[in-house]
Structure 1
Amino acid sequence: MTALQYLLVGINALTGILPRELGNLNNLLALWASDNDFTGRIPDYIGSLSDLTELRIQGNNFDGPIPTSFSNLVNLTSLRIGDLVSGSSSLAFMSNMTSLIVLTLRNCRISDNLASVDFSKFVGLYYLDLSFNNITGKVPSVLLNLNSLIYLFLGNNSLSGSLPDTKGASLKVLDFSYNELSGKFPSWYSTERHLQVNLVWNNFMIDSSNRSILSSGLNCLQRNTPCLPASPDDSSFAVDSGGTRPIIGSDKSYYEPDDTNLGEASYYVSNSTRWGISNTGKFMEAANFSFIVYTSRQFTNTLDSVLFQTARTSSSSLRYYGIGLKNGFYNVELQFAEIFFPDNTTWTSLGTRIFDIFIQGELREKDFDIKKQTNGKSYTVVLRQYVVRVTENFMEIHLFWAGKGTCCIPRQGSYGPLISALSVSPYGGNNKVDPGPIKNSAGKSKIALVAGVVVCTIVLGLLSTGTFLWRQKRKKMEAEMGGS
């Protein structure tokens, strides 16, 4: 076993701690241990496997910090660590990993400053994801000017200051969302074509001097600058995720289309300015992947099959926003149906999609699995309903991938959040009513509605038949009595 070079144990539901004997595999080149249920500290003996060129540890229940012994892994070209449940890490361990091409330290509880790393030495770095941490300080100019860097994800940190004035020509996808950035927009933001930059939820001042260079609605998606209700009617909206035309649902909701072609670091605010959307993340190893997916299948357990023939997906973080809502309580209904994995007996049906659901920053569903709600069936509708409070005219619905689920069944990129439709309406018809303690309620699929109609029809039929037979028998008895 000591001659082993590749150990791939991802997506196996393995539990416990990684055995110390792994530290004896001195010839190991690749270790994949993502999407399991491993616990305990990340083993420091992994740092002794100095021949490693690829290491993946995402989607487990490991405690931090990231061991300082990892600084010995200087031959790594790909390092992906994510989703640590405790501990605080720094970036110091990666300072000498200058052979890296892909680096993901996502959701790792990193508390550090980007200036602590000399990024000028990372000349081959192509992909960098440090999102969902607590990284502070300014964005170093050297980082944006790396010659090989194409993808940069720094969202959901505590970065401050302004964006660097210069940027390398190779860098095309930049996620700075959910930070504390401010100041003027650099010239490269408006002059360079085919650029994706997500600036949602920062402190940029948007006025007449820069509004023309920005996508419409960004002013409504900044910190402390909510858009107020335009009219008293701005208290509800509904969205058909991926849909290309308006739809009137069976519940009389007006579902607006949502077919904007978002990229790996994009946002959009609807023409009605009632709702918006933000997407971040890249489907690794998946070429030309679309974030909108389609099916022509019919869904038998819903009255609104067309709503589920399109869906929007994400490899990392997908957020929908309610903009300019009146403050109060709302019903939020999220509608799902798995359309990636076919219902058959082949390996292509074995994929799993797992993600978390947050609303207003509160975790409502942990490790949500659409197919698990339907006893393993695809093309079956699942509803989730919640009561949500709005206090600043703004609502955020966040679908978040925490590294779990299969990645490549039936094809690369078959993971991450997926949603078919959503609707938001005043609670109980009056959003000033306080429902008391807000609970996370799991809504039932619209199959309940269909089943209810069927049951009612059967019951009414039986009652009608019974009434008819009783009347016939009564007439016969009266006739017999009259003749006697």
Structure 2
Amino acid sequence: MKKLLFFAISLILYSNSAFTQSAKLDTQEAKALKEIWGKLGLVGREEWDFEKDPCGDLGHWKFHLICDCSFESNTTCRITEIIITSQNVSTSLPRDFTKLQYLQLLDLSRNYLKGTIPSEWATMRLSTLSLMGNRLSGLFPTALTRMTTLLDLRIEGNRFSGPIPKEIANLKILEKLDLSSNDFTGQLPAALAKLTNLITLRIRDNKFTGKIPNFISQWTQIERLHMQGCSFEGPIPSSISALTQLKDLRISDLEGEASTFPPLGKMLQLSILVLRNCLIDGQIPDYFRFMINLNTIDLSFNNLTGEIPSSFSQLDSAECIYLTKNNLTGPMPGWVISSAKNVDVSYNHFTWDASGPKRCEQRTINVVESYSSSTDKQNDIHPCLRKDFPCTKSNALLIRSLHINCGGEEVNINNTIKYEADTKRQGASTYYNGGNWAFSSTGNFLDDRHSDTYILSDTSNLHYISTSDTELYTTARRAAISLTYYGLCLVNGNYTVRLHFAEIAFTQYNSFNSLGKRVFDVYVQGELKLEDFDIVKAAGGTGRVVIKSYTVNVKNNTLKIQLYWAGKGTTGIPFRGSYGPIISAISVDPDFGTPNYGKGSEVGLIGGILGGLCFASVIIVILWRRGYIMSKKQYTETGEMSHTTSFS
């Protein structure tokens, strides 16, 4: 029986091969393909002989070209799919694609294409079109609104601008729409409500305005909804409760009006939930116990109050839980401290009990600054757990300068300034103490097909950097959501803080890799210093250095530098999961001549001076009594003698 089955399968494969080898690509399509190849500048790049049939000799075809050879009794082939990705094609889009009448899938993502979409493309009967990661520009192309056969449209990571036209309602059967990382403006048009077959909608990183519309309730089939980094106004509408098929919901960085937690209780299929910085007040609902598929939950940077629901301890499938920077209170649950998951409950207001953590470094658990400064038994709490976060060393010797090579090995600049090594690689939910400094890292890189990378390294992209400084910029520390550096045990006073940046993940050259855009915010001592900071824009290119300097007053012996990703910038160049703030180095130098030691140090200094004076007085008395120090009479006589002798 097995031999017979094997023979049948072999016969089918042989028959298909025979049909493919005997069938030829339609003459007109072969001619059109050659014209397209020439206009895209691909002639000469490949060893493919245009005299050969691309549908009959796919083994030598380095790009994906798929044909349907069932035409005219299996003698004629038609091109149905073309995929040309990551080839840095830098031309305009050829009109000649319209000559391929049976083309259904066209993927030209991650190239360097310019211009806009030709109006002639409106006649194409594509089901899938991906132009992600190019330089295409202009208003939303009208040709796209006339491609009524489209099921999947992706124009993420381009330079399209203006409002979304109401004609988008023509795409009634559209299932996937990705408009992320463009410059679209205005409110979301009501016409989007007509797209009731949507399964995926990604509109993050644009310049949309207004509230998240109530008509989102019409997308009852949607499974993936991303609305990050667009400055939409809150609150999240209650109509979102109708989206019961959602598996991946990401909304972040809303403006305006606060609200209580949105009604998500019926979204039992959720795997990823991000409601970060969404102005959410009140307590966390208890319905999470029913979301058995949750893998990642991010409720950070809100104003959530009360205790962490006990239902969170039952999220067995959850690998990452981020409750960073809220106003959560009550005792910290025991499951948090003992968890093997990535759990970040830092920057909250828990009350201390005997079962609380005794230190901040807790494997994959981040609890830094997690306890209220007014909580009882402050002496039992490790200083780094307290909200006021004083110097973490008892009887510490205070320092007056600090230099960190973020993400790199120790570096000596001109043998005068030593930048300390910072090479710890964990970071999804991490607090690390390096001695006189520490860092807190929050977040994993969603959609990253590679392993999460929290340290970037590259030496090939650096330009215009003096030889003595280059080593500082070959590495950088990265975080997915938030990265905070602390300077610990600093003498109180004014300092010059320099933050060193260089973009080393993107290239300078004319390729799709140069189209990546990294945008984040920078806070120093809690004050916003840089909003929507783009290293490449500030430095004038990739691999170039930009240093931001600030005069900062240090109190309580602690300096705090925070970098925060607000959902803006590209996330798919050079590959999915490429985003988040980075920093190359930090230097902190005093602006004072005489240090301000702070209240505690002043007491010690005064005590030391008084003790020294007392000791000196005792020594003087002993020496005087033993005759080593002259009396007033002896001094007068000797002085007069000396005076006479000196003028004799």
TM-score (norm 2): 0.61
> Which fold has the larger relative contact order, with Cα–Cα distance below 8 Å and residues 6 or more apart in sequence?
1
> What is residue 7 of structure 1 aligned with on the other side?
177
How far apart, CA to CA, are the structure 1 residues paired with 2:175 and 2:348?
Answer: 41
Aligned to 1:148: 317
- Distance (whole Å) between structure 1 residues aligned to residue 354 and residue 295 of structure 2: 24
2:556 corresponds to which residue?
Answer: 392
Distance 1:9 1:228, change over 3 A: closer
8 Å CA contact 1:228–1:325 kept in 2: the answer is: no
Q: Describe the shift of the 1:266–1:84 C-alpha distance in structure 2 as closer, same or farther (beyond 3 A).
A: same
Counterpart residue number, 1:265? 429
2:579 corresponds to which residue?
415
Q: Cα 1:166–1:221, aligned 2, differ >3 Å: closer, same or farther?
A: closer
For 1:79 and 1:342, locate their aligned partners in 2 and report how far apart those are by CA, in whole Å.
32
Correspondence 1:298-447 to 2 at 5 A:
298-302=462-466, 303-375=468-540, 377-427=541-591, 429=593
Matched residue, 1:66: 236
SS of the counterpart of 1:332?
Answer: strand
> In proportion to residue count, which structure has more helix?
2
AA in 1 matched with 2:441? N
What is the root-mean-square deviation in Å for CA atoms of aligned residues?
2.7
Change over 3 Å in CA distance of 1:226–1:7 after alignment to 2:
same
**What is aligned with 2:444?**
282
Kindly indicate whether the alpha-carbon contact (under 8 Å) linking 2:391 and 2:556 is maintained by their aligned counterparts in 1: no
Distance 1:57 1:430, change over 3 A: farther
Counterpart in the other structure of 2:401: 236
Specify the alignment match of 1:120 in structure 2: 289
Question: How far apart are the structure 2 equivalents of 1:118 and 1:69?
Answer: 18
Q: Percent identity?
A: 37
Displacement, 1:54? 0.8
Separation in structure 1 between the aligned mates of residue 262 and residue 398 of structure 2, nearest angstrom = 53
C-alpha distance in structure 2 between counterparts of 1:228 and 1:267, whole Å: 14
C-alpha offsets along residues 413-439 of structure 1, whole Å, 9 cap, x if unaligned? 321111100111112555659xxxxxx
Moved more, 232-241 or 165-174: 165-174
454, 458, 479: which one pairs with 1:295?
458
Structure 1 window deviating more from structure 2 (380-389 vs 410-419): it is 410-419
Aligned letter for 1:258? D
Instruction: Name the CA distance, whole Å, in 2 between partners of 1:169 and 1:221.
Output: 17
Match for 1:133 among 276, 286, 302? 302
8 Å Cα contact 1:90-1:112 kept in structure 2: yes
Q: Distance in 2 between matches of 1:280 and 1:128?
A: 12
In 2, are the aligned partners of 1:140 and 1:164 still within 8 Å (CA)? no
Cα distance in 1 for residues equivalent to 2:376 and 2:338: 26
Alpha-carbon distance, 1:248 to partner: 2.3
In our comparison, the structure showing a higher alpha carbon Rg is: 2
TM alignment of 1:196-211, pairs within 5 A: 196-203=364-371
Residues of 1 paired with 2:408 and 2:354: CA distance? 33
What's the offset of the Cα at 1:323? 1.0
Counterparts of 2:177 and 2:255 in 1: how far apart (Å)?
Answer: 24
For 1:55 and 1:137, locate their aligned partners in 2 and report how far apart those are by CA, in whole Å: 28
User: Contact 1:149/1:170 (CA < 8 Å) preserved in 2?
Assistant: no
Q: How many residues of Structure 1 are paired with residues of Structure 2 in the alignment?
A: 419
Letter in 1 for 2:548: R
Which structure 2 residues correspond to residues 68-87 of structure 1 after superposition, within 5 A?
68-87=238-257
Q: CA deviation at 1:315?
A: 0.7
In structure 1, what is the Cα distance between the partners aligned to 2:520 and 2:400?
28
- CA 185–27 in structure 1, closer or farther in 2 if over 3 Å, else same: farther
Conserved in 1, the CA contact under 8 Å of 2:503 and 2:542?
A: yes
SS of structure 2 residue aligned to 1:371: helix
Q: Does 1:254 align with 2:423?
A: no
Q: TM-score, normalised by structure 1?
A: 0.81
Task: Name the amino acid aligned to 2:231.
Answer: N
Map 1:69-108 → 2, pairs under 5 A? 69-108=239-278
Q: Could you tell me which amino acid in structure 2 is paired with residue 84 of structure 1?
A: L
By how many angstroms is 1:48 displaced?
A: 2.0
The reply to whether residue 29 of structure 1 matches residue 193 of structure 2 is no
The CA deviation at 1:254 is 2.0
- The verdict on how the C-alpha distance between 1:379 and 1:359 changes in structure 2, with shifts beyond 3 A counting, is same
Q: 1:4 to 1:305 in 2, by over 3 A?
A: same
Task: Return the alpha-carbon distance in structure 2 between the equivalents of residues 185 and 255 of structure 1.
Answer: 39
Q: Distance between the aligned counterparts of 1:301 and 1:368, measured in 2? A: 21
**Secondary structure in structure 2 of the residue aligned to 1:282:** coil
Counterpart in the other structure of 1:453: none
Contact 2:476 / 2:585 at 8 angstroms: preserved in 1? Answer: yes
Equivalents in 1 of 2:269, 2:335: separation in Å? 24
Q: Where does the alignment leave 5 or more consecutive residues of structure 1 unmatched? A: 212-217, 434-484
Structure 1 pair 150–186 and aligned structure 2 pair: CA distance change class (3 A): farther
2:384 aligned partner:
220
5+ unaligned residues in a row in structure 2: which ranges? Answer: 1-170, 598-648
Cα deviation, residue 186, structure 1: 5.2
Aligned counterpart for 1:40 among listed residues 210, 231, 243: 210
Deviations 1:61-115 (A, max 9, x none): 111000011011111011000010111122242122121111000010100201x
SS where residue 301 of structure 2 aligns?
coil
Q: Which of 168-177 and 29-38 deviates more?
A: 168-177
Q: Using the alignment, how far apart are the partners of 1:206 and 1:24 within structure 2?
A: 57
Is 130-139 or 175-184 further displaced after alignment?
Answer: 175-184
